[in-house]
Each structure stands twice: as C-alpha cells, then as structure tokens.
Amino acid sequence: MSKLMTGAEYRASLAKRKPLRVYLNGKRVEDVVNHPIIAPSINTLALTYDMAHDAEQKELMTTTSTLTGKTINRFSHLHASPADLVKKVKMQRMLGGKCGTCFQRCVGMDAMNAVFATTFDTDAKFGTKYHERFRKFVEYVQENDLIVDGCMTDVKGDRSKSPSEQADPDMYVRVVERRPDGIVIRGAKAHQTGAVNSHEHLLMPTCTMRAEDKDYAVCCSVPVDHPNIVYIYGRQSCDERKMDTSPAGQIDSGASCFGGQEALVIFEDVFIPNENVYMDGEYELAGTLVERFAGYHRSSYCCKVGVGDVLIGAAQTAAEYNGAAKASHIKDKIVEMIHLNETIMGCGLAACAEGKQMPAGNYLIDIMLANICKQNVTRFPYELSRLLQDIAGGLMVTLPSAHDLYNPETAEYLKKYLAAAPGVTVENRMKLLRLIENLTLGRAAVGYLTESMHGAGSPQAQRIMIGRLANLKSKQALAKNLAQIKE
C-alpha cells in the first residue's frame, strides 16, 4: 500500500521543501507555510488529505492505482472507467461543499491524465520514449501522495500573434537550450492555482502550434522548490482580513479557515533533465494535449456545484434568520438556485458517464458534454450569487465589523438594532452575512465567480469547441430527411 498522507503530514512535507522565492504584496515571504494570507489555502489542501482517511468519504477520495495496484488518493489517479470519472466529479462536489472554495488539486489530476494519453500517442507517431518517462513520474507522485500543479496558461502577450511571432519571445514558455542530458526552459505561467502549495509542476503547451512554434511545444515536470523559479502571489479581494486572527477578525473574514490560491510563476532558465521531459518540439500533438486537458478540466468544474450547495444553504438560513422563509417568492428563488446548481452537475455526470477509453488505457470524458458543463458554469454561479444576495439583503455589504460587536461602547446598539427573527443571535447573523459576502464578493468569489468565468478557458473557448464538435451536417440531414428534401 502506498503512503496516504494526513493533513498534518502534508503540511510537514511543505516545510521540508527548499526555500521558495515567493513574493506577496511587494515583499518576499520568508515562511510560506504559516503566512496568514497563504495558510487558509494550505488548510484547504490539507482537507483533501484528511478526507482520504474519513470513513464516510474514503470510497470517493481513494482508489486502486492502475499502475501499481496500491491504494492511492484519487487526485493522483489515471481514470480506469466511466465509473471512475463519475466518482471524480462526485468527490469534487463533496469537497467544494466542505471548504466553500477551490481545493487546488483538480488541475494536476486533469493534467496527468491528459499527458499520460498524449505521450502514448506521441510515441506511437514519432517513436519517442516519453510515455515510459511519464509513467514513472505518475508512479512517483502516487507513491509519495504528492500534489501536482498543472501549468498550462501562458501569459500570451499580444493575443493576435502566435508564440513565435511575439515581440518578446518569453510570452510563452519555451525551450531556450537543448543539452545531451536535458533542456532549459524560460517563460511564465499565469493564474497558477495552488502553485505555492504543491510539490511538482507539470508544464504543458497552452495552444495549438505550428512548425515555427516547435520550441514552445514543451511538456515537462519540475519540483516546485527549484531555485530558478519565482512566485509572485496573486492578490484577492479582502485578503488582508485574514491578517486579523482575533475572534472578531475571523468573523469579518467569512469562512477564514479555508481559501484558494493563485500565483504568477516565472521560470528563469530552469534545467529539466531528460527523464522529466514529455514533449520537446512535437508541435503536431500540442493541440491534442490542450484539447484533452481542457475537456477533463471543464468537467471538473462540478466542484462549483459543491460551493453552490453552500450558497443554497446560506440562502435558506438567511431567509430563516430574516423571518422570510415562508414567503412564496423566497421559496421560488431557492428552487431556482437548486435547479441551476443541479443542471451543472447533470452535465458533468453525463460527460463522465459517456467517457471512452483512449489508446493509452485511461478514460477521457465526452468533450462536447464537458464543454456544455463548463459553459453553464460561466453563467449559473453568477445567477446563484445574485439570488443569494437578493435573499440576504443589503446588510451583507453595510454590516459593521465584528470588532464593534465586541466593543462595550457599541455592542448593545448592534444587539438591539441588528436583531432579526426570534432566537437568532446577532453574532450568528453576522457570521452568516460575512460568509455570503465572502462567497459572492470576497476571497471565495475569486474561486467561485471569476474562476467560473475564466478557469479552464474563457466562455468563448467552450463555444468554439461546441461549434466544432456539434456535427451540424448530421443535424441538417435529419431535418432534410423529415422535410423530404432531396438535393
């Protein structure tokens, strides 16, 4: 049996890394693991480890490795059937509900499955030896229960130009030197979820490429603590509230124990040994890798359904606290929230149930349905948030600080004038309203709303794929057949 880490062991594994070059708010971070702005995102990842030991969640969180036959965390698994894919999205919903934010491991899982399949195809086409290298990397990740940061999104520079046409050639990660024992890469990856909290980076090309872009057609892995990697931590709305660790500060943060994380990751001439290189110039397969990864990741947005469950629960609680739970229009709004949330889940489950085996042996979701799932995610969470804000009322954005509730000079005023339904304490009402603020406007909204829009590709990226996969000719043939049109 391979080692399944606990949350505490995961934290200890981060502390064993070499010092990272992390910058946050204009300063270098000396203690990455315990920094108050970063710590909530580490708590979220620790939850994914602890849930693997939870009796109720073990079936979702763990599985048997197709490579070693050992028990592993599902986040490092190569999907072996449609049932595996279904369990993946059910796991993601469960975790989204537990933490109310991004748990940062889906990108690595989706990247590993896409690269595993694509290295197999690359070897078949070009006679390379990438697949066996990558298989060993996956075994290493599984055996040590590591977190992989899937790195796809380049900074892109001028979007009207291809990678090789950029005025600055570093706008896409590229190979700048080839040596007998490996390659040297340079560039940056943007919006990297959980980058600072991971053990390994898995870099992939970000778009379809042509022959002149072959230096940018690179896929490789590298430890997060490589000395030539720089991290510039992404700011989030209201993130400095996490600096206040007092009881009042915890209320004002709104679910401050958990959080997501993104970073700009700069690769400054990073050497990658040959055994960690899985594509080097095979530009013909870059688009295939991108399409597979995007498909996997777009179905993975069922994590937002778990967060949506939290929003629905918050809406019902807010209605009860306000004494409005029996109003017919409130009930109807909550029903609409449920409908939208379950529609996302239905598409995600369908994409998984229709999954097909690839030549490498692992299973790929139905790409059309995955794109439909993600297209819904770019819209429905915004409506869920609007309905929640409607039900909660304006106090969620005009609420005084919890420090005023704990201040003897102002406490009695708040207890008197912020009272609502009988039996509801003002403190509990404030806690709920801060949670709603965080979910729909604050730190968690980064992982729920903006990530719903742009994560796994912008809405237009899904619409392009939907149009490409729709097979309009066959639909036209059906219509013409019924209309008895002969051409």
DSSP calls for 289-355: HHHHHHHHHHHGGGHHHHHHHHHHHHHHHHHHHTT-TT-HHHHHHHHHHHHHHHHHHHHHHHHHHT-
Q: Which of 151, 303, 347, 373 is catalytic?
A: 303
Which of the residues 301, 321, 363, 448 is marked catalytic? 301
Residue of 262, 282, 291, 437 marked active site:
262
Q: What is the mean pLDDT of residues 287-303?
A: 96
Examine residue 48 and state whether it is found in any structural domain, yes or no: no
Q: Is the pLDDT of residue 1 over 50?
A: no
- Within a domain: 252: no
302 is catalytic: no
Residue, of 331 and 249, whose pLDDT is higher: 331
pLDDT in tens, 171-204: 999 999 999 999 999 999 999 999 999 999 999 9
| Nearest Cα residue to 251 out of 59, 60, 404 | 404
Q: Is 451 a catalytic residue?
A: yes
Confirm whether 262 is a catalytic residue: yes
- pLDDT value of residue 243: 86
H or E stretch covering 200? strand 200-203
386 domain-assigned:
yes
From 220, 297, 373, 437, active-site residue: 297
3-class DSSP state of 454: helix
Question: Any catalytic annotation for residue 303?
Answer: yes
In a domain, 380, yes or no: yes
Give the integer Cα–Cα distance in Å for 173 and 150: 14
Q: Is residue 314 part of a domain?
A: yes
User: Is-catalytic flag, 301?
Assistant: yes
- For residue 329, name the pLDDT band (cuts at 50, 70, 90): very high
* All residues at 6 or more sequence positions from 146 whose CB lies less than 8 Å from its CB, including other chains: 13, 76, 140, 198, 199, 200
The answer to whether position 433 is within a domain reads yes
| pTM for the predicted model, two decimal places | 0.95
Q: Tell me the average pLDDT across 361-384.
A: 97
390 within domain boundaries? yes
Active site residue 339: no
Model confidence pLDDT, tens digit, residues 23-56: 999 999 999 999 999 999 999 999 999 999 999 9
Choose, from 193, 206, 378, 440, the residue flagged as catalytic: 193
Which residues form the domain of 461? 298-474
Whether 106 is a known active-site residue: answer yes
**Mean pLDDT computed over every residue of the chain:** 96
Catalytic site residue from 282, 291, 437, 451: 451
Task: Please count the structural domains in the chain.
Answer: 1
| CATH number of the domain residue 416 falls in | 1.20.140.10
Q: pLDDT tens, 52-83?
A: 999 999 999 999 999 999 999 999 999 999 99
| Closest C-alpha among 454, 73, 118 to residue 297 | 454
The predicted structure's pLDDT at residue 446: 75
Structure confidence at residue 447 (pLDDT): 77
Confidence of residue 2 (pLDDT cuts 50, 70, 90): low
Closest CA to 458 of 375, 346, 366: 375
Set 63, 77, 102, 131: catalytic member: 102
Stretch (H or E) spanning 270: strand 263-273
- Is position 297 annotated as part of the catalytic site? yes
Answer yes or no: is 212 within a domain. no
